[in-house]
Structure 1
Amino acid sequence: MYEKTISIRVSGRVQNVGFRYHAKEAAIGFGLRGFIKNLSDGTVYVEVVGTSLAIELFCDWCRKGPDWARVKDVFICNLPDQDYTGFVIK
């Protein structure tokens, strides 16, 4: 099964609202591997590896986020292949 790696940068009210915790649950539920972390500019940065369908579903989730989040923009970039095991919050 073909996998790809992407980065996602989410802006808006996405810190201090449980975004990383819920994103981790979503990513694991979709069978994705990678990591998520807060950036100093107030955005959230994610790198994920998985199938195109799983990544598409996760990106859709990121456009909404958890109930308390207010997502403004989601920027997605393709990355060179990565070999992550599991999904972690950094």
Structure 2
Amino acid sequence: MTAVQVRVTGRVQGVAFRWQAQHEALRLGVTGWVRNEPDGSVVAHVEGETPAVDLMVAWLRKGPPGSIVRDCAVREAAPAGSTRFEITG
């Protein structure tokens, strides 16, 4: 089990980023959450098997159509035992 926290900056709010991230997480079989931050960034906690987490991070680095990802900071995190991937804010 691998877990990471990812902060994505750029044009990432108002472009369905969280909804698309949730859809991608479900497709990849990872769990965790994604939320908008007051500073305009999006933060995600992603956990699961390492290859699936890596694919989700790669998706977050690119984002959905309409987004412009300027930076994607990834750091290791403790697994929280999530059972699904939720939009939390």
TM tier relative to shorter chain: over 0.9
Count of aligned positions: 88
AA at the equivalent of 2:72: V
Q: Could you say which residue in structure 2 is the equivalent of 1:33?
A: 31
What are the ranges of 5 or more consecutive residues in structure 2 without an aligned counterpart?
Answer: none
Question: Is residue 61 from structure 1 mapped to residue 56 from structure 2 by the alignment?
Answer: no
Runs of 4 or more off by more than 3 Å in structure 1? none
Percent identical residues: 35
Q: Give RMSD over aligned pairs.
A: 0.6
Q: Could you say which residue in structure 1 is the equivalent of 2:13?
A: 15
Deviation at 1:85, TM superposition (A): 1.1
TM-score by length of 2: 0.96
Deviation at 1:51, TM superposition (A): 0.9
What are the ranges of 5 or more consecutive residues in structure 1 without an aligned counterpart?
Answer: none
Between the aligned partners of 2:3 and 2:62, the Cα distance in structure 1 is 21
Between the aligned partners of 2:74 and 2:64, the Cα distance in structure 1 is 19
Q: Deviations over 1:71-90 (max 9, x none)?
A: 00000010122111111101
Secondary structure of 1:80's partner? coil
Between the aligned partners of 2:85 and 2:35, the Cα distance in structure 1 is 11
TM-score by length of 1: 0.95
